[in-house]
Amino acid sequence: MLKDYLRLHFIVLLWGFTAILGKLISVPPVELVFWRTLLATVGLGVLLVGRKVAWRVAPTEVFRLLGVGALVAAHWITFFLAARLSSVSVCLAGMATLALWTSLLEPLLLWRRVRLYEVGLGLLTMVGLYLVSRAELDQLAGLLVAILSAGLSALFSVLNSQLVKRHAPLRLTFYEMGGACLSIALFFPFYSHYFTEGRGLQLALHGYDWLWLGLLAGVCTVYAFSASVELMKRLSAFVVNLTINLEPVYGILLAVLLLGSEEKMSLGFYLGTLVILFSVLIHPVLDQWNQRRARRKEAAEVLV
């Protein structure tokens, strides 16, 4: 069990490392995500063949999976763009609002009841964001793009929570990565004409780009995903969710250690980030408490 816990924390550490890799790779965010999703699709295809997982899904489901993949592409593009527009630390502070976005989107899309403790945590998160934005006004654009990216990620998570009930996780992710890659490829002509300032697509990789991209696609995407799916079969959802919420913490610590002075923020930034992270880390605890209370209530009603 200890080995599983350590492995899960290592996977979350890898996910926290992705923003740093995105900053190190020289190609723009759109081209970067194209390469990442292309290599990830190939890697996941190899895993599908190696593990003898069935490929086929119903045609209607194919379109749903590809559509969710396009959402993943939009999330990753805005994520790497945020890391370019600001520091890695500010980007990850914005991404920590994922739990807030999820608490807003789930009641709207899944028709579940609004939970009061999630409203309170959402308000606490807003206080943290206010402190961060006031402390780092010169990086406000990156923070706003990161918050948008967190919203896209939350939307993906809510939609994916329904799809994962009908498909094997490996096959599901293969189609979603393929959809992400295909959507970017279709977007390329429009992007090249209107967003590159006449430079055209910049797909060429230089220097250590292949190394960083290999780590991003192979280790942080294909390996991290397949290993996390395996661990979710043995660890409780509470432990997994609580550990995944540590991703911004690990990412900010890695950024300070590896990127040095450019990641040193003001006291207000760290105070605001601590407020956000507190709301993020306490959420699974309150969620677990709420589920236990609901089970006790149901048991009491049965006894009556």
130-185 per-position pLDDT tens digit: 888 888 888 999 999 999 999 999 898 888 878 888 888 888 889 999 999 999 99
Q: Which of 219, 285, 272, 281 is nearest to 250 (CA)?
A: 281
- Percentage of the chain beyond pLDDT 70 is 97
Helices (H) and strands (E) in the chain, counts: 13, 0
Tokens of 245: 């919420």
Radius of gyration of the chain from Cα atoms? 20
Tokens of 182: 């295909």
- Rounded Cα gap, residues 153 and 26, in angstroms: 24
pLDDT for 5 equals 85
30 by Cβ neighbours in 10 Å (0-12 / 13-18 / 19+) ranks as buried
Q: Which of 39, 162, 36, 17 is nearest to 91 (CA)?
A: 17
Question: How does residue 303 score in pLDDT terms, banded at 50, 70 and 90?
Answer: low
Find all residues with CB under 8 Å of 144, minimum gap 6, and list them: 94
Question: How does residue 261 score in pLDDT terms, banded at 50, 70 and 90?
Answer: confident
Question: How far from chain centre, in Å, is Cα 251?
Answer: 12
pLDDT for 167 equals 84
pLDDT for 76 equals 95
Question: How does residue 237 score in pLDDT terms, banded at 50, 70 and 90?
Answer: low
Question: How far from chain centre, in Å, is Cα 171?
Answer: 19
- Rounded Cα gap, residues 80 and 138, in angstroms: 18
> What mean pLDDT do residues 7-25 have?
91
- Rounded Cα gap, residues 206 and 203, in angstroms: 10
Give 21 or 112, the one with higher predicted confidence. Answer: 21
pLDDT for 225 equals 83
- The residue extents of the domains of the chain are 2-303
Question: How does residue 44 score in pLDDT terms, banded at 50, 70 and 90?
Answer: very high
Question: How does residue 302 score in pLDDT terms, banded at 50, 70 and 90?
Answer: low
pLDDT for 209 equals 94
> What mean pLDDT do residues 106-129 have?
83
Tokens of 10: 């290592």
pLDDT for 264 equals 78
Question: How does residue 72 score in pLDDT terms, banded at 50, 70 and 90?
Answer: very high
